[in-house]
Chain A
Amino acid sequence: MATFFGEVLSVYSRAVEEDDDDLDDENEDERIHREIEEKREVHIVWCPEVAQSLEDSGSNTLQCSDLIIAVGTNAAGFLSAYVLNTESWDAVGHVSLWNERSRGSSRQSIAPLPGEPACLFYRHRDNPAVLVCQSTCYIAEDQLFQWTEKVLGCLQKRGLSVMVLSDSPVAEYKTPDYLYGSAVPFLRSLKSSASKGQALCPALEQPNILTGLPAAVLSHCQVHQIPAVLYQCYTDVISPDSITMETYKPALLCLSKLVKLEPCLSADVLRKFAIITEAQSNLYT
């Protein structure tokens, strides 16, 4: 595209360019593509007890009645504060993957350190059919399908229900009327066709859509007729924030039917999970 001043700007096009690789050396390219694919594979690392249960099951699946997935720091913070804060949860596994946004040059085999972006699994001690997953790391577009197939593939479909809590910037929410500050943060829901219960907040209106891990999980549940509900929290704060975390409270109604929850929390507890932005990021020091 040429501008008035004669400079040529490259225009962003939504189309995917035609692949002109008829002329390339296919063998070498294939080897490189295979190596990259292996490097980007998604692996689930379970603790020994769960790995044993999977092996003993015969079908390599776990019996699970409820899977709760938190995507994003606020959703994860909410679960940490309201659900995982009792002593009744065991860490049972994590997802090991590598992509361009990961630290290091290859997939790590060791468990992630506390505070690092990660995908962690917890199981309730008194009710081992309830699994929680906190996902705070970036999962690339080409890894989303694999993540979903591998995680949900470990669980028996029968009797399974899925709940997803997910953060999103309010800038991505499309509405004809401008949203004033007091309206934010807010929740919207999406349900798979197999989910018969009532959602606890308004449904996500057209033309809004979801992408990323929540979309991959919900698509899988829709296609495989698994009851699933998603609560999307639109917020104008990018860092973890206690007010945003509190917005997920309606989900407690469903969660309290599964496990014993902390009845009420002090503001201090929530603030502990909201990380204060470090001064080290100041340009001028």
Chain B
Amino acid sequence: MMFVAAECTPTSFKDFTLIMPAISVGNVGQLAVDLIVSTLNMCRVGYIHTDCLIPMVGNNPYATFAENANDLSTNAEVYSSPELRLAVLQIRTPIIQTKSKKLCKLMVSWIKASGFSRTVVLSSSHAYQRDDQQLLGSPLRYLQTPSMQKVTGDRLKEMEWKEMETVSTFPGVTDSEQRLYIPGGGATKGLFTDSCAEDIPLVVVLIFCSEGDNIPDAFTLLNHLNTWLHLVDAPVSATAQTQPKWRIPASWRLLFGSGIPPALF
């Protein structure tokens, strides 16, 4: 079993909502998850200890004061907010190349065993692979498993969310089979198809983006998710409804490198 509880007391996730990222283009899912954990001040309740991810350690990425700055953090950790009945899994390193399928199976079996009422996978897909229709309108898409459909019904369609389009298995050939294609989505498709097979209520929320400064994409994806899950209340002003305030964690500093040597200029 790859989930290891942080404290001696066992944690129950029964009927919780799980939010997790896919390692995908721009790392948007992971950035969005960082914002959730940081803003909601979530408590770490366990680790995912597995040979499928590249190892990594560092000090507390969500440190807010000196006392908690030196808590060691690993490559995959689970955070919880019992009041919101919310659990969040953060994955911080890439999946080892040959272990993607194994990780999907392990994740699906952990989700099932933990009894999460629904799982949300935050992901992204290469913007340059969009077809003519997808170039217009919102870059946000969703996918839900049949079990999730039973839970949410048409809620997401009513909110005018767009379902991820399928592509033709043989482009150019008329009447060819349609298949799911999420380029740049990493293990998203694997997780989704395994969840369909295991009757897991799971929804994928993704954004089309390119590599670069993906912080704005993370905010867009998260604000979109928030319109459904209401994790954070958006302040309503007299004139217009503004976006919720998300707290940027300490670990987002120096994303593009260290300070520049003055002698360079």
Contact = CB atoms under 8 A, between A and B. Distances in A.
Contacts of A222: 47, 57, 72, 74
B54 A206 contact: no
Contacts of B72: 190-193, 218, 222
Contact of A14 (B50, B59, B211, B250): B211
A28 interface: no
Nearest to A12: B211
Q: How large is the interface on B (under 10, 10 to 19, 20 to 34, 35 or more residues)?
A: 35 or more
Specify which of A11, A178, A192, A208 lies most central, judged by the most chain B CB atoms within 10 Å of its CB.
Answer: A178
Nearest to B28: A15
A261 to B, nearest CB: 28
A18 B185 contact: yes
A251 interface: no
Contacts of B51: 142, 145-146, 149
B38 interface: no
Nearest to A170: B258
B56 A207 contact: no
Interface string B48-67: 01110011111111010000
Contacts of B253: 174, 176, 206-207
Contacts of B94: 14, 16
A179 B258 CA distance: 9
B235 interface: no
A15 B23 contact: yes
A13 B211 contact: yes
Interface stretch (B109-117, B155-163, B186-194, B218-226): B186-194
Interface stretch (B95-103, B145-153, B197-205): B95-103
Contact of B23 (A16, A204, A219): A16
A173 to B, nearest CB: 7
A14 B27 contact: yes
A13 B70 contact: no
Interface stretch (A119-127, A209-217, A262-270): A209-217
A215 B74 CA distance: 8
Interface of A: 11-19, 33, 37, 141-142, 144-146, 148-149, 173-179, 190-193, 203-212, 214-216, 218-220, 222-224, 230
